[in-house]
A and B are shown apart, each in its own frame.
Chain A
Amino acid sequence: GEDVEQSLFLSVREGDSSVINCTYTDSSSTYLYWYKQEPGAGLQLLTYIFSNMDMKQDQRLTVLLNKKDKHLSLRIADTQTGDSAIYFCAEGLSGGYNKLIFGAGTRLAVHP
């Protein structure tokens, strides 16, 4: 079945770049998504990438997609304390109804 895997924790120093990695199994995924969850809140869509692209940049965020290896990464440049959150990778399944399969989430801790 479909599966999405992420490492559970990442700690970075303020001002450094953060790279959060994700692997997925469904090669027919059409879109891949990154969501952010701040403490006590629901998930907020950060960015997404279409499966026929290999890179997307949006201000401090860069998404890289290696479709051959089914590997997705999210790079946050100049990481700030406000970036501390849980980041979820999700794959959008082909077919109807917009089902997403989420990874377990990576908790990013930013320290001074």
Chain B
Amino acid sequence: DVKVTQSSRYLVKRTGEKVFLECVQDMDHENMFWYRQDPGLGLRLIYFSYDVKMKEKGDIPEGYSVSREKKERFSLILESASTNQTSMYLCASSSITQGAYEQYFGPGTRLTVT
């Protein structure tokens, strides 16, 4: 079974702190993604990576950065956390099956910034 794990399920940080969210997948997938999920807005793509050290901005990259030093690990960094970054953060990795890309998701990290 594909497994995508995230470093924390719940996290509480203070405004201005630097925050690291880590994601690890065990299926040798090329592509990895970070989303944030907010009620009524669905999932919005923050950043994605298609290879080690490669990254592309998603729809809402402002205030975030990412790092992919190893194929299995994709980190999301909040340089200076703000209250409007309180959200659920979901990591995913993907493979191609019968022409369709399947994204596999981690359980999510609920981040609260106070």
A residues near B (Cβ < 8 Å) are 4, 8, 30-31, 33, 35, 40-45, 48, 50, 88, 92, 96-100, 102-105
Interface string of B28-42 (1 = CB under 8 A from A): 000100010000111
Known: A41-B108, A43-B103, A44-B105. 16 other contacts (CB 8 A): A33-B100, A42-B90, A42-B105, A42-B106, A45-B102, A50-B100, A92-B100, A92-B101, A97-B31, A97-B56, A98-B96, A98-B101, A100-B101, A102-B43, A102-B44, A104-B42
For this complex, into which size category does the number of interface residues on chain B fall? Answer: 20 to 34
**Chain A residues, Cβ within 8 Å of B106:** 42
B residues near A (Cβ < 8 Å) are 4, 31, 35, 40-45, 48, 50, 56, 58, 90, 92, 94, 96, 99-108
Q: How many Cβ-Cβ contacts under 8 Å join chain A to chain B?
A: 60
With beta carbons under 8 angstroms apart, the residue of A8, A33, A42, A99 that contacts B48 is: A99
B40 touches A104 (CB 8 A): yes
Q: How far is the CB of A4 from chain B (nearest CB, A)?
A: 8
Given A44-B105, A97-B31, A99-B48, CB of A8 within 8 Å of CB of B100: no
With beta carbons under 8 angstroms apart, the residue of B42, B96, B99, B102 that contacts A103 is: B42
